[in-house]
A and B are shown apart, each in its own frame.
Chain A
Amino acid sequence: DIQMTQSPSSLSASVGDTVTITCRASQSVMSFLNWYQQKPGQTPKLLIFAASSLQSGVPSRFDGSGSGTEFTLTISSLQPEDFATYYCQQTYSTWTFGQGTKVEMK
């Protein structure tokens, strides 16, 4: 299996902050990496696919980068609706999710 490790597991931030979440793969997944947002009690929502492609309808303050084994999700100018848990997922080989990063209000 390819293991996906996100860091940090949680972070506290304020509205307007820039937040960066890292996702590391145990082996190269090239650019087969997606990011999802999940709010409490809600279904996950696709934000970024293919490491850096913004899903239709997702605000441009969400940005994905990286390739190989290290990826980042950056949220610029954090908005109140962005407080949620974020997951990375690799689809290079037998798909797996990272453990999640919870973005909480400071």
Chain B
Amino acid sequence: QVQLLESGPGLVKPSETLSLTCTVSGGSISRDYWTWIRQAPGKGLEWMGFISNSATTNYSPSLKSRLTISLDTSKNQFSLRLTSVTAADTAVYYCARGGSSYLHYFLDVWGRGTTVTVSS
């Protein structure tokens, strides 16, 4: 079955760029939507954005100016790039698959999450 695994630095300095990669195994990235979600300590889930199999992106308006999601089909990976980070970007970052049924999308496969701390 499809599995997702996030990777990237656990510590990022303020004002720098956070980069994370999600590796998809057990299935092809050439279908479905590929999504990033984050969860600040003690807080709820925040949808960040997704990239489709055709590389169309959709971002949360609150992050749109700082966020880029990209796809590398040759490596079966998708990535997140968040610029100008602050302490407010400290969170567990999850990647997830946006599966679908009759045009209804849902997050049916999740990575384990990776903790990112923004601190000098």
Residues of A participating in the B interface, judged by any CB pair closer than 8 Å: 1, 31-32, 34, 36, 38, 43-46, 49-50, 53, 55, 85, 87, 89, 91, 94-100
| Given contacts A43-B113, A49-B101, A50-B101, A87 and B45 within 8 Å (CB-CB) | yes
Which residues in B have their C-beta under 8 angstroms from that of A85?
44
**Distance from B80 Cβ to chain A, minimum over Cβ atoms (Å):** 15
**Distance from B49 Cβ to chain A, minimum over Cβ atoms (Å):** 9
Quick check: B110 and A32 within 8 Å, CB to CB?
A: no
A32 to B58, CA, bound (A): 16
A91 to B50, CA, bound (A): 11
How many of chain B's residues touch chain A, expressed as a range? 20 to 34
Q: Is the interface of B mostly helix, strand, loop or mixed?
A: strand
Partner of A100 from the list B44, B61, B112 (CB cut-off 8 Å) is: B44
| Given contacts A43-B94, A100-B44, A94 and B108 within 8 Å (CB-CB) | no
A70 to B63, CA, bound (A): 27
Quick check: B46 and A97 within 8 Å, CB to CB?
A: yes
| Given contacts A44-B45, A97-B44, A100-B44, A53 and B107 within 8 Å (CB-CB) | no
Quick check: B104 and A49 within 8 Å, CB to CB?
A: yes
